A and B are shown apart, each in its own frame.
Chain A
């Protein structure tokens, strides 16, 4: 009898491990591929030796380390942060629609960034800092507005969407009244692209990932019982409010930093978690897998945006083209089952 339990557990774990490993390989391959292609082709081995400082070759190093590595790293890190952030929100609120780029966190970041660009003529570091502040402030606002003897998923999502629309309309107003040059700059930022990252912001995002991803893995334990509903989680002895607050904080700081680096790249946080869940299987968790799927999407979208199309487009356009049909499919199927928004 006990064998059933052991074997079910082992099957789930082995599959999760194998799939996560495979995803890591794909993400790494795309990471290298991004640095190979461009106006000047660099062979894979030269990219690896240069990027990891295994050999110095000034002509290759300039292209790889100075020109391409920052963008590739930004794509990898931004995707990972968006994937983890989205998964935590979706699990926490028990709803595939509950992605932070949907419930007003990204719009908060956008509103602050656009205000910084248009109203204050800010530079890139200032824009990033504003975006981060916007993400945090809008999250706190939604949390407070949704609080009533605790937080319920639906109320959080509905208030988030409402607040998101409100902030988007203010963004529209600000952009409509801006000078042409600044309006263009704001619109470019709003679409989101990994190429616009400054090195300071990128470094900050990397530090955030190093600190927060392990934190997310630790918080996975209470998350596994929070998923069963508040009453069940409390009955099992979990500290519901504290754990939920910590998980929301991790998720919001991650998406805040990602947005600060690359602008609001839409849909990645929404689709990475469900895709990871589908391929990892019913193992629960899957934080690393969701992060890797996020990286793969952003790296892939960036490759398509810059190299496969006749005209270079911002990364956010491509993720939007992939993400929008998924959202429609999600709304159609989720509501049929009587769940979701």
Chain B
């Protein structure tokens, strides 16, 4: 069994080697840039603070405060200011590494025996010479220890950067979490750990080589890091000079379904125009991707009507009729945000409450109302988003059904179906088209009070984008009214469970539907 698992893991590594190498490279690049920035800020600042002493504690204290901000919160906080992608990731990662490097530099330089610095001055060294010949070499072991700590922090935290579209090994981990696939998680986590060990070894060797009067090896390593980071970017910049077709950036939230759908958008647009479509799949949850759209980091993404009404517009749904809900969402988004909601597809991916088949048989529960009878014995696992959504989330359920579940836990979307199947919880919130509905034979409870608004998926674009590229409106409206719930569930299953490529799944559907030629 174990051997089988190891084989599966390596098989996945081979099959996905392109993905892995790309993610690894993104991870290295992001980590190195962040580390270099942190070093270039924290080391000179630490030296300055150590020499002038005043103000050291407040400054170091500030970096310590930054350290206490949860990394995801910091990433999310940065998006309105710097947008999505590598930029917020690098800023956040640099900020995290500041504290250990600054503190160690300060301690190291301050800890140099005053007699030695007096000797250096008395012998007629100027400030620079004192620093390079005496202070830095003596403080170097402490400074390097700080840099190594900062580096491990960066490489570890960089896995979260996937949530803001920065890519890296976190992409693989998020995919794994989302699909409840441990091999993907390991495919991201193991290289991340090895990367941390590798960087640590490089820094340790550098430190050993530089113990002595010379700190040249440090400069060589810094230079090498700068080159590694700069070369591809310079090459890219040179390539950019050439004429490129116009680009449209389309994003999707985390998960198989948005990624399949936006691949369909890409295939259709590129089939019928010369535009190049760049996809940003897995861009976190609603807040992050919506903010990215408003920031013009992306041009459009795949959104649901229900989410637009209750979450983005913060309105009550006027009706449970799909068409009326769509009208409400379309008008609201246009008025409030100058965003255009194109025609929605047929299937609904509504929120649902789901239980296992066995439990349904045991308790005879069929509707959400039925739950109130057994609410004192229930344990539920909800996503953070569901637990928080006023109108169509758990607060809404409490209000409309008078349901008061004994124990509610919040967890990542990818984990809650596992928790349900493992018997840790009795009830979860589910998306009706998610693959685990098939995989685990889950039963959805009827929304007998019609609480959940219709959730039809549709492209959401900025108005100015559609003015610039008017053709894409008609192209994407071809998907309007298509794709049934069963078809979507099947496609999700192919990706999540059978590990099919999202683009292939999208292409097959479009060909079958006659929208794309073979």
A associates with B: no
